[in-house]
Amino acid sequence: MLDSVGQMDLPKLIIFDLDFTLWDCGGTWCDCLSPPFTVRNNRIWDRGDRQIRLYEDVSSILDQCDADGVPMALATRTEQPPWARELIDLLGLSHRFVHAEIYPSSKLKHFAELQKASGIDFAEMLLFDDEMRNILEVSKLGVTSILVKEGLTRQIFEDAFRKHAAQRERRD
Ligand SMILES: [Mg+2]
């Protein structure tokens, strides 16, 4: 955990988008890939030899959230939910997330469902996503929403924790 952020100020739920946030699918969205997916040399490929991989800092960030006891969830708009689920599984991520909203729709629907399932206030949630329209929509709910340009990095993650803690302080 960051020294400057106390346990009290940690988010109660961290939500991640997938494409261009947690993983890279050979420069495209996962619903533009060509299954079947295969594992060769511990790497995941689609039929067109596009590699699906987590961005460099992601595994250690997820480990840190687990170590800090902060639950994690997924919210991702995709036209191919079964493909996304299979890739989550192949990457060994299935156990990480307490909720997963994976289907085309609006992020507002995803977040309404997450709120219902978790019972956690929007103001206690932290979102990472690479699309500005999602950031704008979800931040209106009161969720601390952080734009990721191309892949979540340790720097973005730590700055987000500080921003969330500061927003919390302003409300108290
Ligand atoms: Mg995305």
**Dist CA 88 CA 159 (whole Å):** 26
Respond yes or no on whether the N-terminal peptide bond of residue 36 is cis (omega within 30° of 0): yes
Provide the pLDDT confidence category of residue 167 given band limits of 50, 70 and 90: confident
Active-site option among 3, 9, 19, 31: 19
pLDDT at 150: 86
Decide if pLDDT at 133 tops 60.
yes
- Span 9-34, mean pLDDT? 96
- For residue 38, report the distance from its CA to the centre of ligand 1, in Å: 23
- For residue 32, report the distance from its CA to the centre of ligand 1, in Å: 13
Domains and CATH numbers, the chain: 7-23+55-171 (3.40.50.1000)
pLDDT at 5: 66
Global confidence as pTM = 0.94
Residues having C-beta closer than 5 Å to ion ligand 1: 17, 19-20, 130
pLDDT in tens, 71-129: 999 999 999 999 999 999 999 999 999 999 999 988 999 999 999 999 999 999 999 99
